[in-house]
Structure 1
Amino acid sequence: MLERWNTAIDLIEKNLDGEIDVAALARAALTSEYHFRRMFSSLAGMPLSEYVRRRRMSVAAAAVVAGEPLIDVAVRYGYGSTDAFRRAFVSVHGMTPDEARRPGAILSSRRACGCASRSKGAPPCATASSTSTRSASSARAPAFHWSTGDRTPT
C-alpha cells in the first residue's frame, strides 16, 4: 500500500510546475480524494495544499538562487505577480528572493506544521528545518517516501 503512496508523491514531484490533479493522486494511491487528503494530512503532518506550496517554493528557490528572472519563476510556479511570489517566498524561507541570491545565503523552511512537537518514531515532516537550495537537483528530490521516512532522491 505504501508503494502506491510513493507513486502519488512521485506524481506530485513531476507536476510541481503545473496543476496537481488530486483525483489522479487518489487513483495512484487506490483511494478516494477525500480519504487521500485525510491520510496525506495525517502522514505528512500538513494538508496536501501546504505540502505542494512548500515543495514548489523549495524548487522555485533553487531557480531564484540560480539567477533566473523572478517573473519567470513566479509564473512557472503559479504566482500571478512577483509581489505575490515575494510574499510567499518570505513566508516559507524567511528572506526575500533578492536576499537569497546573495553569496552565502542559507534558506530555511519554517516549521509551521508543528512537526517539532511530534512524538519519537512518528513520520518526519515533509519540510526540512534547514534546506540548502544551492543546487536544483537537491531541490527536485522528494522530501521523503512514506515507507521509510528517509530522505531519498529519485
Structure 2
Amino acid sequence: MVTLRLMNSSEFQEYFNLATENYAKEKVIAGNWNEEESIIKAKTEYEKLLPKGKDTEKNYLYIISQKNQPIGIVWLEKKSNENGFIRDVRVFEKYQGLGYGKEAMKQIEMVGKELGLKKIGLHVFGHNRIARGLYEKLGYQTTNVMMIKDI
C-alpha cells in the first residue's frame, strides 16, 4: 500500500528541476516545442502554475511512498469547489510496473473527495500508451483528442 505525504522544501526543489526537464522532453517528443526553447518554456509554465512553489494556494504536491521509501510524486490542483486536475503523477522508473501508480491514483482521488471535489481531470501525452491504459482502467474518460501530422 502506498501513502501520500506533502513535499518539503528540498523535495519540492528536486521535483521542480526534474519535472521541468521531463516536461520539456515530453513537449519536444510531442512536437509542440523545439529542443532549444523547451527548458525555458517548461520552467516558465511551472513558475506560472506554482508562483509560491509548494505553498501555492489550491495546489497539493505529494511524495508517493512505499514503506517510507519515496517512489514517486503526485500534484493535484483544486481548480474550483468541485473540480480538480492532476497536474503531474510520476512513479520513479525502478518502481514502475508494480501497481504503485494505480494505488497512488486511488489515494489522490480520496484526497480530492476530502477536498470536496466531484471530478478530477488530467492530461496525458498521446505517445504515453502505458499511462493512458492505466487511466482508462481507473475509469478516466477521454474528453479531447488533438492530432498532428508531419507533411
- TM (norm. structure 2) is 0.28
Bigger RCO of structures 1 and 2 (CA < 8 A, at least 6 apart) = 1
The structure with the greater share of residues assigned to strand is 2
The structure with the greater share of residues assigned to helix is 1
